Amino acid sequence: MNAPVLPRRIVIAGGGTAGWMAAAAIARTLGRVATVTLVVSDAIGTIGVGESTIPPLVAYNRLLGINEAEFMRATRATFKLGIQFENWKNVGEQYFHSFGGTGQDHWSAGFQHFWMEGRARGHEAPYGEYCLELKAAEGAKFAHLPSEGWQWRIPLQHRQGNGIVYASAHLEREAALDRLLSSVAGERLVEPNFIRYQTGARRLQWSHNCVAVGLSGGFMEPLESTSIHLIQRAVLRILRMLPAGEISPRDVAEFNEQQATDMVQIRDFLILHYKVTDRRDSAFWRQCANMTVPATLEQKIELFRDTGRVFRKNEELFAENSWIQVMMGQGIMPRSWHPVAAKLNDEELAGFLKGIRDNVRRQVDSLPLHDRYIEQYCGERPAAVSSRPPIALSA
C-alpha cells in the first residue's frame, strides 16, 4: 500500500465570514500538515449584513481556542437567549423561540404532553413559564413585523443593528426604506445598504477539488440566524472528510448529501413561520397562508397537530423544543397527547408543574442583570462606534 499523500496547499477564495471562519478552523486543526492561503480581493466587497448567531457558535469558537470574554469584548456582543416573534401568528400577538429546554421530559414523551394534560385539567400557566431561557430573556433579540415582510432589531453593547426583509413583489423599495428608518431608535449612523437576494443552494457544493462554503454555496433568509451556522457545519465537514491522498467520490457524495439535508431541514423550519399564520391582512400574508409546503414540513406539522409529537432527524439543527415553541406560538395546538401524562393524579400533576415553575423562578431571581453581567464578564466597553449600516434585504 502506498503511503498517503497529505494535502500540501489549501486555497480559500473570499475574505468574508465564510472565508475567515474556514481558514481559521482548517489552520487550527491541521497545523503544519497543510498551508492555508486566503485570497481577498479589494475589488469585491463583503456582503456585510452582520447576521446574528445561534448557540453552536460557542463550540466553534472553542475549537479555534477563542476566549469567549475577549471575543465579546472585541465585538461588543451581548448574550442571546432566543428570538421574539411579534405579529407572526396574528397582529398584536407574540411568542418567544428560546435557545434551551422547556420543562422536564419523560423518556416516553416530551414535556409538552404533560403541559397539555395539565391544560386540559385547568392549569393555565403558559408553556413559556417552564423555560428558564425565556424567563431570563428581558432585553433579548426582537423581530418586528410589517405587512409585507419582517424587521429585526439586534441589541449590542454599543448600538442596535436594524434591518428589514421584504418581498419586492409586494412592497416597493422606498416604502420598505421608510418603514425601516421610522423604526430605528436613536441616531442613525449610516445610510441603509440594500441587498437583493434569492434563496436556494447549489446541488453540488463539493465538485472536484473545490468546495463552496457560505454564500457561495447557498443562502437561506436570516429569520432564524442560520447562515453563520451553515458555514461552520460545512467547514467541520470538510475537516472530517479531508482526503489523505486522492479525493474519494464517496466523500464528495456524502458531503453533498449532508449539506443538502441541512438546507432542506432549515428551509422547512423557516417556511413554518410563514405558512402557519392567522394573518390575512395583506396580499403577502394571504399568499403565504395559501402556499403549498414541502411534504417533509407537512408531515411534521400534521404529526404535531394530531399527536403532539416531534422527532429530530439526522443531527437536525433545530431540536424538538424549537419546533414545539414555534408551532404552538404560531397557533398549532395538538388534538391529543401521550397517555403517560394521564398517569399522574391531579395532585401529582399540579406538584410536578409547580415544581418546574418554581425552579425556573428561583434561577431567574438569582441571575444578575444582563448589562451588569456584560460589564463584569467582558470588561470595559470600547469607546469607538461602528459605522455598519442598516440592512434592507429584498427577496
pLDDT in single tens digits along all 395 residues of the chain: 455 555 578 999 988 888 999 999 988 888 888 889 999 888 877 776 667 788 888 889 988 989 888 888 888 888 888 888 888 888 888 888 888 888 888 878 888 998 888 888 999 888 888 888 888 885 343 333 456 678 777 777 777 788 888 888 888 888 888 888 877 777 777 788 888 888 889 999 999 999 999 889 998 888 888 888 899 999 999 999 988 888 999 999 999 999 999 999 999 999 999 999 888 888 888 898 899 999 999 999 999 999 999 998 878 888 898 999 999 989 999 999 998 898 899 999 999 999 999 988 888 888 888 888 888 888 665 554 445 555 555 55
Single-letter residue type at 367: L
Q: Pairing relation of β-strands 149-155 and 141-144?
A: antiparallel
Q: How much is the pLDDT for 142?
A: 31
Q: Are 180 and 172 in contact (CB under 8 A)?
A: no
- pLDDT value for 46: 72
Q: Which pLDDT value is given to residue 296?
A: 95
DSSP state letters, 360-395: HHHHHHHSPPHHHHHHHHH-SPPS----PPPEEEE-
What integer pLDDT is reported at residue 151 of this predicted model? 77
Assigned architecture for domain 9-394: 3-Layer(bba) Sandwich (3.50)
Residue ranges of domains in the chain = 9-394
What are the grid coordinates assigned to 142, written together?
Answer: 426582537
Q: How many CA atoms lie within 13 A of 33 on its CB side?
A: 15
Taking alpha carbons only, the member of 360, 268, 261, 263 closest to residue 323 is 268
pTM: 0.74
CA 303, distance to chain mean position in Å, is 23
Determine the pLDDT at residue 199: 87
CA–CA distance, 231 with 235 (Å, rounded to integer): 6
